């Protein structure tokens, strides 16, 4: 019996720092107000020359280095993004090309902010079924390319970045062995309108009108999305720890999608977890969509907040709507 284990993490944030003063200037919002509403102090923006694949490759190289593997040893590349380089080819194929590994499967998946955990679940299935021995799961987003700077619901929140993990299969030595215990995925398409890019697809193809009306930019209903995210994640985290016989107080680190500082605060209180056990990088990087969870995980690992044999819970919520949780022993 195989168990999937994360053997390397990596992340990449573009150099350009965008302060609250900069994003708030055109909206007439003071920096301190933005921090209070979102928990964000600054976020990053990709350079004009950088595409999503460029961010992804940098995070992937870090993860491979941490894992002690070369790209040639990978059996597959799974890439989560809602801001691909282009409609096709897949951004994952660009990453494969830039890493220099040939003939292995490489493909994108789109589950909005839950995409990293959707990808991790797929990599776990591929490893346990014997299709691959090692796999790269990367989430990369250049969300700034689809943000309307005049829309306060989104312009204040989103940043660019990438996070990655390398996973491999190891023989399961029992309940106390390190590795992924489980990933649970969820979706509710009836709530699709809460966060969306209205135009640019087959339902509303690009026209002069859709461009003029800004229908190719991200639109979000912040208040109902906030309430639903807290409710669904609280429930899903409780379900997965119960399923595997883990008490909430046994969680060493809770690593969540960095959507909004207030969501993190609400979940911390509802779950009764001490704040120091909830990883937060949102103040520095903002909401990087599906990349935010692996970025936070990489920071937690590299800062020593996650140690061998720690119980770690992962959780995310995003457009679709989708949400997901993961439980692992480090």
Q: pLDDT per residue over 209-252, tens digit each?
A: 999 999 999 999 999 999 999 999 999 999 999 999 999 989 99
All residues at 6 or more sequence positions from 258 whose CB lies less than 8 Å from its CB, including other chains: 264, 280, 281, 282, 285, 286, 287, 288, 292, 293, 295, 296
Which backbone phi and psi does 202 adopt, to 5 degrees? -75, -25
Catalytic residue among 94, 135, 168, 257: 257
> Is 257 in the active site?
yes
Residue 243 near residue 181 (C-beta atoms within 8 A): no
**pLDDT tens-digit profile of 175-190?**
567 899 999 999 999 9
Rg (CA), the chain: 19
d(CA 306, CA 310): 6
Residue 157 near residue 35 (C-beta atoms within 8 A): no
Which backbone phi and psi does 98 adopt, to 5 degrees? -70, -30
**Domains in the chain, CATH or no CATH each:** 2-171 (3.40.47.10), 179-329 (3.40.47.10)
Catalytic residue among 93, 101, 113, 168: 113
> Is 20 in the active site?
no
CA 295 to chain CA mean position, Å: 7
Structure confidence at residue 177 (pLDDT): 77
d(CA 210, CA 254): 40
d(CA 236, CA 97): 37
Positions of the chain with pLDDT lower than 70, given as ranges: 173-176
DSSP state letter for 271: H
Residue 42 near residue 15 (C-beta atoms within 8 A): no
Total Cβ atoms within 10 A of residue 25? 13
Total Cβ atoms within 10 A of residue 57? 23
Residues shown for the chain: 330
Catalytic residue among 101, 168, 279, 287: 287
Q: E strands of the chain, at which residues? A: 2-12, 16-19, 42-45, 77-80, 106-109, 134-142, 160-171, 179-187, 195-196, 219-220, 253-256, 278-279, 311-318, 322-329
The residue behind tokens 């991790």 is 120
The contacts found for 190-194 with CB under 8 angstroms, 24 or more apart, are: 191/228, 191/320, 191/321, 192/319, 192/320, 192/321, 193/221, 194/220, 194/221, 194/224, 194/225, 194/228, 194/319, 194/321
Residue 149 near residue 155 (C-beta atoms within 8 A): yes
């Amino acid at each position: 019996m195989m168990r999937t284990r994360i053997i390397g993490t990596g992340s990449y944030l573009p150099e350009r720092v965008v302060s609250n003063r900069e994003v708030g200037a055109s909206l007439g919002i003071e920096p301190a107000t933005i921090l209070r509403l979102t928990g964000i102090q600054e976020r990053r923006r990709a350079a004009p020359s950088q595409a999503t694949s460029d961010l992804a490759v940098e995070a992937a190289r870090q993860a491979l280095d941490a894992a002690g593997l070369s790209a040639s040893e990978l059996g597959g590349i799974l890439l989560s993004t809602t801001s691909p380089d282009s409609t096709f080819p897949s951004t994952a194929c660009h990453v494969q090309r830039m890493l220099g590994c040939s003939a292995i499967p490489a493909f994108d998946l789109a589950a909005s902010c839950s995409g990293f955990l959707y990808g991790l679940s797929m990599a776990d299935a591929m490893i346990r079924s014997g299709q691959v021995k090692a796999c790269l799961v990367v989430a990369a987003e250049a969300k700034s390319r689809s943000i309307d700077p005049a829309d306060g619901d989104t312009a204040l929140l989103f940043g660019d970045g990438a996070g990655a993990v390398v996973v491999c299969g190891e023989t399961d030595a029992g309940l106390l062995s390190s590795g992924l215990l489980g990933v649970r995925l969820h979706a509710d398409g009836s709530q699709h309108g809460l966060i969306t890019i209205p135009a640019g697809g087959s339902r509303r193809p690009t026209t002069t009108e859709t461009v003029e009306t800004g229908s190719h930019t991200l639109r979000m209903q912040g208040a109902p999305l906030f309430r639903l995210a807290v409710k669904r994640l609280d429930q899903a985290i409780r379900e997965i720890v119960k399923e595997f016989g883990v008490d909430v107080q046994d969680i060493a680190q809770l690593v969540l999608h960095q959507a909004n500082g207030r969501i993190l605060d609400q979940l911390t209180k509802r779950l009764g977890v001490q704040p120091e056990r909830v990883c937060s990088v949102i103040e520095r990087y903002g909401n990087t969509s599906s990349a935010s969870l692996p970025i936070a995980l990489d920071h937690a690992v590299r800062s020593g907040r996650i140690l061998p044999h720690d119980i770690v819970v992962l959780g995310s919520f995003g457009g679709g709507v989708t949400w997901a949780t993961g439980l692992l022993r480090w």
